[in-house]
Amino acid sequence: MALTVPPGLDALALLELGSVARGYRVLDWMVKEAPVTIVEANLIEPGKYLILFGGGVAEVGESYDEGVRLADGVLLDKLLLPFAHPRLWACLGGQESLGNADCVGIVEGSAVASVIAAADRSAKEADVHLAGLRLSPALGGKAYYVVTGEQHAVEAAIEAGRAVLGPAGRLVDTQIIPRAHAEFLPWVLRPAPFGGR
């Protein structure tokens, strides 16, 4: 899912709800009452509703707190990043590049909000390039991200991602691919088939 991300968003937040109806109620409250920018609000498998928004740190924090309150009982996952890594916004906007692909790391999780949090941590704590992020409907509600760089840095990024996803019970798998083959690289961030992006 490539998004149109407006410039100048300092904070990023995401609510992942198990009720579409409640998702619409939360979204309506946000657009009526909160001075934040809705980046995406949509359905994702299996029957989940995601609301991704950004803006100033204080405004996003206030809106996030109220959204969490309104989503009580159906909130599956949540994320608040006061100062999101710049590459995170770029990847959400569909800007993908493998950078130095000497080594490729892939982190896969079972919830979109947790995967975005793990990607942010990996990009901030390790000297890697956040190459891309997949939140595709074709993933059945899962998500993954890809980092590239020197092998030691990719290993550190993978551990940072595991530290976010593991304790939350959201980790599906991680893989490190050293000395990635040239014929493999074009397949790493390919769009999902049949328009499922």
Give the model's pLDDT for residue 197.
44
Give the model's pLDDT for residue 167.
94
Amino acid at 43: L
Cα–Cα distance measured from residue 26 to residue 18, given in angstroms and rounded to the nearest whole number: 12
Q: What is the 3-state secondary structure (H, E, C) of the chain?
A: CCCCCCCCCCEEEEEEECCHHHHHHHHHHHHHHCCCEEEEEEEECCCEEEEEEEECHHHHHHHHHHHHHHCCCCEEEEEEECCCCHHHHHHHCCCCCCCCCCEEEEEEECCHHHHHHHHHHHHHHCCCEEEEEECCHHHCCCEEEEEEECHHHHHHHHHHHHHHHCCCCCEEEEEEEECCCCCCHHHCCCCCHHHCC
**Fold assignment, 11-81:** Alpha-Beta Plaits (3.30.70)
**Fold assignment, 86-189:** Alpha-Beta Plaits (3.30.70)
Amino acid at 65: D
Give the model's pLDDT for residue 102.
84
Give the model's pLDDT for residue 89.
83
Cα–Cα distance measured from residue 126 to residue 145, given in angstroms and rounded to the nearest whole number: 14
Domain ranges of the chain: 11-81, 86-189
Q: Please give the chain's pLDDT, 197 residues, in tens.
A: 456 666 667 899 999 999 999 999 999 998 888 889 898 898 887 888 999 999 989 999 999 999 999 999 999 999 999 988 888 888 887 788 887 778 999 999 998 899 999 999 999 999 999 998 988 666 777 899 999 999 999 999 999 999 999 999 999 999 999 998 888 877 887 765 544 44
| Same CATH fold assignment for domains 11-81 and 86-189 | yes
